[in-house]
Structures are given as structure tokens and as C-alpha cells.
């Protein structure tokens, strides 16, 4: 299936279907690649109107669950909290090819796929 762009609402509807599943989140920012395995237990969104600077996102996707994170050094650790946060921007691109989601922001690219 060819990748198609989604609205945030369509993205949310499709991602909600993955609740209870194990997902892999790959984050590529600058020269940094992190991979997280998580049992997805919920999806929520946060709006932060009290930002101190532009580095803090106005909106964030919060993936709730338990799991592990692997950094570039092949170091595997438990997630520090039960929430994995992806910063969202007004111009974030949401793509889905039937198997994986790609979220592209000015800070990086996030891939979410079922394990």
C-alpha cells in the first residue's frame, strides 16, 4: 500500500486501533536515533500554553504504556515514565502506509509500527 497523508483526526482514529498492542517507536532527530518498544495502553494529547521557550512544544502526542528504550549506544533501559511524548507542530505531516505511521516535524521524524 502506498503511503498517504492523514489529518490528525484520521491519524488518531487509526492509531487508537493499536491500543493493547506492542509498538516500536523510532525517533530520528539530527544524528540521534532512539528506538522504544512499548505496550500501548492509551493515547492522549497535551496542549501547553505556558511554554518558556520555542523548544517546548505547544502540542504533544502522548503514548501511554510500559516498555524499554534503546539508544545509539545499544543501551536498553526501562522507559523513565509510562508516557512517551512526541512534540507536534501546526505543520506536522502524518503519513500511513498500512503498516506504519510517519510523523515528520521540524525537529525530527518519528516512525510508529506494530511489533
- Give the tens place of pLDDT for each residue, 66-93: 999 886 667 788 888 899 999 898 899 9
What global pTM score does this model have? 0.86
For residue 51, name the pLDDT band (cuts at 50, 70, 90): very low
Give the domain range for residue 79: 4-49+56-114
Q: Hunting for cell 502526542 — which residue is that?
A: 61
Task: Quick: pLDDT tens for 9-36.
Answer: 999 999 999 999 999 999 998 888 889 9
Q: Which stretches of 1-115 are assigned E, i.e. beta strand?
A: 4-6, 22-29, 32-47, 59-70, 76-78, 83-88, 93-96, 100-104, 109-114
Q: In total, how many domains does the chain have? A: 1
- Please answer whether residues 15 and 112 qualify as being in contact, where contact means their C-beta atoms are separated by less than 8 angstroms: yes
| Greater pLDDT, 71 or 102 | 102
Amino acid at each position: 500500500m502506498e503511503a498517504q497523508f492523514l489529518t490528525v483526526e484520521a491519524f488518531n482514529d487509526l492509531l487508537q486501533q493499536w491500543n493493547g498492542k506492542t509498538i516500536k517507536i523510532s525517533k530520528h532527530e539530527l544524528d540521534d536515533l532512539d528506538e522504544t518498544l512499548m505496550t500501548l495502553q492509551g493515547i492522549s494529547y497535551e496542549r501547553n500554553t505556558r511554554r518558556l521557550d520555542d523548544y517546548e512544544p505547544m502540542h504533544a502526542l502522548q503514548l501511554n504504556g510500559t516498555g524499554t528504550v534503546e539508544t545509539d549506544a545499544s543501551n536498553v533501559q526501562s522507559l523513565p515514565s509510562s508516557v512517551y511524548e512526541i512534540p507536534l507542530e501546526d505543520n506536522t505531516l502524518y503519513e500511513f502506509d498500512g503498516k506504519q505511521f510517519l510523523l515528520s516535524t521540524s525537529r525530527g521524524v518519528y516512525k510508529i509500527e506494530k511489533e
